[in-house]
Amino acid sequence: MTALVLSNARLPDGRIADISIDHGIITHIGSSDAADRVIDCKNRLCIPAAADMHVHMRDGVQAAKETWKTGTEAAAAGGVATVVDQPNTIPSMETAENFRQRADLAAKNSVCHFGINGSVTADADFLGLIEAGVLAFGEMFAAPSSYGNALTPDVIRDSLRILADHDMLVTVHAEEVLPGEVHSLEEHSRSRPVQGEAETIRLVQDLAPHGTKLHICHVSGTEAFGTIKDSFEVAPHHLFLSCEETTAENTFWKMNPPLRTKKERLALIQNFAKIPVIASDHAPHTIQEKSQPFSLAPSGVPGVETMLPLLMNAVTEQKITLGQLIGKTVTNPCRILRIPAPSLTPGSRADLAVYADTPVKISGESLHSRCGWTPYEGMDGVFPVTTVIGGIPAWHDGEFTSGGGQMWMNAGARQLRRKE
């Protein structure tokens, strides 16, 4: 018998069909035969589950902020099947041994697919990390941020030369940071200006040898769009929040790059079609840490669980299209990462999300990140009622089930594993 059937699912083209799943793969779309388990989707919309190529899962000495278990549960409850962990961890991903320990921790606790990026620093063991199985490298810090120090141009140039020779993707944190303390969201934005973001992107691209695969992280202003030669992402907080739409000293809306003006936020939305990828930059901190004075509070907000619900609500409000959402959260991230993208076709990996019919108010108390808060409090979101990951209903009826996730590695490491 078929292992799982999602019955009465509404496909993106409007058809109502049963989706049969066996051994983690979609085997048939149409009428179904007997199955070990049937989940009635009740004509709700079913789409491929997302890949979030920018998260910080913390854990270890930072477990009070987030763990692999709580972070990937949040991902599954938000319709995300794959997360890519950034390397500014403690310890950082500079060595193959550190990577293996983090991969083991993730494999034991993650309820979704995951990849782990390697660090780009003067001391990083690039070749050892590639062989060990990092998915990509970066975010490479061309500007300082929480738990990430800026690299010199020489280190950037030398690192990119090595990584280009090995056909590795490098993701880039590009900002210019002006001197001085900041005490409000607007001051924070002025200290890390949009113009500096564009200039730093140009600098990194000029330092990169021919053939380097660069992906620019969390672009916060449209000024940089014309500068970027390869791919880039925009974070939901830059689409849905601005420094003018809250109190001046709201540390819970503090992140890097900073929130911009409402005018710039609306410009991002108006240019939504030009954005290749939406990625959450899920970067949780504890309520206690974020409650410090503005200049001391760390930058970063949680977002992996709310990214798709916010975008799905924008679809229901006809501000964006469903095709745009799938392209920017499923197809393009997987293409850039060079991992297979799930789709609603027989033979595809069964990573699927079934969404509720109506939005609800987002509340930190109802979310699953360990940090326990959200910058999107009170905003509307359309959440999945079921998320299938690798053929397993990882999130259904308010409960989590693990077992469907796998680790994504770079192509060279995958080939090496197959030969072994």
Q: Could you list the active site residues?
A: 281
**CA 398 – CA 164 distance, rounded (Å):** 44
Check if the beta carbon of residue 47 is closer than 8 Å to that of residue 322: yes
Tokens of residue 359, six digits:
């939005």
First to last CA, the chain: 33
Rounded to the nearest 10 degrees, how much is the dihedral formed by the CA atoms of 60, 306, 225, 214? 30
Q: 317 Cβ partners below 8 Å, 6+ apart?
A: none
- Reduced to 3 states (helix: H, G, I; strand: E, B; else coil), residue 114 is strand
Q: How many residues does the chain have?
A: 420
Check if the beta carbon of residue 328 is closer than 8 Å to that of residue 47: no
Tokens of residue 347, six digits:
């033979």
**CA 52 – CA 280 distance, rounded (Å):** 7
Give the DSSP H/E element, type plus range, for residue 34. Answer: none
Q: Which amino acid is at 282?
A: H
Taking the CB of residue 380, how many other CB atoms lie within 10 A of it?
A: 17
Q: For 273, which DSSP code?
A: G
Give the rounded distance of the alpha carbon of 276 from its chain centre. 13
Q: How open is the CA angle 139-210-272, to the nearest 5 degrees?
A: 50
**What's the Cα-to-Cα distance from 2 to each of 5, 8, 347, 394, rounded to whole Å?**
7, 16, 14, 18
β-bridge mates for residue 80, sequence order: 50
| Coarse DSSP helix, strand, coil percentages of the chain, rounded to the nearest 5 percent | 30, 25, 45
**What's the Cα-to-Cα distance from 319 to each of 108, 260, 316, 357, rounded to whole Å?**
39, 20, 8, 17
Rounded to the nearest 10 degrees, how much is the dihedral formed by the CA atoms of 216, 217, 219, 225? 20
Q: 229 Cβ partners below 8 Å, 6+ apart?
A: 205, 214
Residue with tokens 């202003």: 221
